[in-house]
Structure 1
Amino acid sequence: MSATFNPGTAAALLADACRRGVQLRDLPADAKPATLACGYDVQDRFVAALGDPVVGWKLGVGSANAMRRASLARPLVGQVGASRCFASGDTVHVPAGAVATIEFEIAVRLARDVAPAHGELAPAALTELVQSAQVAFEVVLSRYEDRGAVGMPAFAGDNVGFHALVLGAQIDPASVEDVRASASVTLDGAASALPLDGDDAIYPLEALQSLLAHAAERGITLRKGTVVTTGTLTRPFDVAAGVHAVRATYAGGELVLNLAPQTGPG
């Protein structure tokens, strides 16, 4: 934790906004993290304040183009809370008036504990870390009105906008590129997203490598069975408040997410 920055104020504001289902314009200047390290200090306090056991990790802003635009050396990392994990067909509630972003992703589970260690792993070693893989939707909903305007450290403090993770069927980890190539996402029956490619694409093993680097810096041991959702395969799209059905089809499979307005505090 930074010796001069106190993350507690920002974390308390974000936790309060999360519980009440409201969004902030920004953090007060004296409570706003100026560096990614300070942003992750806020994130740790924010997640702890919610009291939701952490069962996994998410990667965001992970494509080469997205990182270039955000002046990042690697993707941002957020934490996945147990109460915010859902199954295909479940309903995820969204605060009234908020706009959610939908991403179709590949989530993996770790085959063993990984202690903090510096240095990159070879692709074969990364592959051996993957116990299983499955399709997923991530629902991104920042505690800020405009997550792009507040800056990357503040967005990291906001747990990288994590709202919910919908986990679907397992896939063969070797079939990720087939899933990517065949993926299509609809919103209320209308085509909404197709696969990303080139420098807009995200690759699960590269994302996993980035998580290992983050864990090494933060002194985190990644636990066996932990879920890691690695970043969107299809173009993210925004969904306005209301009742909606989101459906992804891929290589003969299907993943379903229902959205509905939140009727009380989150």
Structure 2
Amino acid sequence: MSTTPLTSEQISELANALSSARKDVRILDGFPGPIPSTLAEAYVVQDGSIAASEQPIVGWKVGMVPPDLRDELGAERILGPVFKDVCITLTEQQSKGQAFELPVFAGGFIAIEPELVFETNQDIAPGSINTANGVEHLVKAAYAGIEIASSPVIDLNGYGPTAIASDIGNQYGVILGTSIPDWKTAIAAMETSTTINDELINTAPTDGIFNGPLSAFAFMIDCCAERGITLPAGSLCSSGAITGVHETLVGSTSTVKFGDVCTMNFTLVDNKKA
């Protein structure tokens, strides 16, 4: 991580390098420039990638900052946009176990993360919500979901939170499975599991992420407010990895289960061939 503030030229070059690698499906052997020293810088880089995209934003992914870096960066979480072309709503059959395929950057960073995905029930303008008063009333629905974490940058996560935030939060899709009825009560008694290539990787309480999934939803609202971003009604919040960030490879088969509510069976495929 650089300790010197990036110049506007460096920020522009970095945003261009990251966004063009995604657009061209071109793998990068390393992070393509100096790593931002602050999350504020990283979000300016991210803004450049957002501006370069032709896709509308349908929501945001929320990720964690490692505990040992939270004081230094002044945040517990980071934010990244979810573009329309990589947001997939499963059919009823796919939410009940019918196999499907998900594209990723073959040779780049690849991981799967089971996550609760919240949907907002109204427009949220910057500064219009005091999240300290609670945010549950802003939830239209909660879905069993998956974040596909994938980037052209090999080992992107190894470069730290500011690098991850710079590259749109290291995500390549949010998968919407079943809408969970009576979600708040349901997730309190639910477990989520991840199996990869027939090996059970982990099982964890569905509501067990740091400070609970609604804290991630509140973070999305606050972070977007600080950046002057309005959240339209229907915006999605992928609220953070429940069982962990599970690195894997093209060709791997996985099963993500949200209790008895949703079972998602999928194979990761090369996005150049998908």
1:176 corresponding residue in structure 2? 187
1:144 Cα shift? 2.2
1:196–1:144: structure 2 CA closer, same or farther, 3 Å change rule?
A: farther
Q: Deviation string for 1:154-194 (max 9, x for gaps)? A: 22110110111111000022122223xx2212123321121
Calculate the TM-score normalised by the size of structure 1: 0.85
Asked whether 1:22 is paired with 2:27, we answer yes
1:34–1:170: structure 2 CA closer, same or farther, 3 Å change rule?
A: same
1:154–1:192: structure 2 CA closer, same or farther, 3 Å change rule?
A: same
Alignment partners' CA distance in 2, 1:132 and 1:52:
24
Q: Which amino acid aligns with 1:13?
A: A
1:162 corresponding residue in structure 2? 171
- Select 1:43's aligned residue among 22, 42, 46: 46
Asked whether 1:111 is paired with 2:121, we answer yes
- Select 2:17's aligned residue among 8, 13, 32: 13
Alignment partners' CA distance in 1, 2:265 and 2:53:
24
2:60 corresponding residue in structure 1? 57
Q: Which amino acid aligns with 1:59?
A: V
Query: Within 5 A, what are the aligned runs for 1:1-266?
Result: 4-6=7-9, 7-18=11-22, 19-29=24-34, 32-61=35-64, 66-71=65-70, 72=73, 73-88=75-90, 89=94, 90-117=100-127, 120-122=130-132, 125-171=134-180, 172-174=182-184, 175-179=186-190, 182-195=191-204, 201=210, 203-242=212-251, 244-262=252-270, 264=272
Calculate the TM-score normalised by the size of structure 2: 0.83
Q: CA RMSD in A?
A: 2.6
SS across alignment from 2:151: coil
CA contact (8 A) 1:100 1:141 kept: yes
SS across alignment from 1:194: strand
1:136 Cα shift? 0.4
Alignment partners' CA distance in 2, 1:8 and 1:250:
41
Q: Which amino acid aligns with 1:176?
A: I
More displaced stretch, 252-261 vs 134-143: 252-261
Count of residue pairs brought into register by the alignment? 255
More displaced stretch, 207-216 vs 4-13: 4-13
CA contact (8 A) 2:117 2:142 kept: yes
CA contact (8 A) 2:249 2:268 kept: no
1:9 Cα shift? 0.9
Q: Which amino acid aligns with 2:219?
A: S
Instruction: Give the fraction of aligned pairs with identical amino acids, expressed as a percent.
Output: 25
CA contact (8 A) 2:257 2:263 kept: yes
CA contact (8 A) 2:207 2:242 kept: no
More displaced stretch, 197-206 vs 136-145: 197-206
1:204 Cα shift? 1.4
SS across alignment from 1:104: strand
SS across alignment from 2:264: strand
Runs of 5+ in structure 1 lacking a partner? Answer: none
Q: Which amino acid aligns with 1:166?
A: I
1:45 Cα shift? 1.3
1:167–1:197: structure 2 CA closer, same or farther, 3 Å change rule?
A: closer
